Amino acid sequence: MMYPRLKLLHKLLDKDGAIFISIDDNEQANLKLMMNEIFGGGNFVANFIWKKATESQNDPKYVSISQEYIYSDAKNKNNFKLNNLVLPEKTVK
């Protein structure tokens, strides 16, 4: 279901565009393979890890998952520029 949408999004991106996709543990490996096929492995920008919970969720059956992944690929990495992100002082502390 994701593959045709990623193909379409790749066509719609500008020459200096990039895509950022948030995904959990269950499908992150499949997404990475699809993105490599569609965008090309050389256009991989980064795998950001987003901490979605500040405390563990002590589930007695499973391991607590407190993060998600944000995969990013550029249409053409040579044309892509990631601007600096200014973090608030509170976040830096």
| Domain of 64, in residue numbers | 2-79
Identity of the amino acid at 67:
Q
pLDDT band at residue 5 under the 50/70/90 scheme = very high
SS3 55: coil
Q: Are strands 44-51 and 67-74 parallel, antiparallel or unpaired?
A: antiparallel
Q: Does any domain span residue 70?
A: yes
β-strand partners of 20: 72
User: What tokens does 23 get?
Assistant: 């995904």
How many structural domains does the chain have?
1
Which single residue is written with the structure tokens 């950001």? 48
pTM over 0.85: no
Digit-coded pLDDT (tens) for 42-73: 999 999 888 776 666 666 666 667 788 999 99
Q: What is the pLDDT of residue 54?
A: 65
Q: Does any domain span residue 8?
A: yes
Q: Does any domain span residue 87?
A: no
Could you give the CA distance from residue 43 to residue 73 in angstroms, rounded to a whole number? 6
Q: Does any domain span residue 92?
A: no
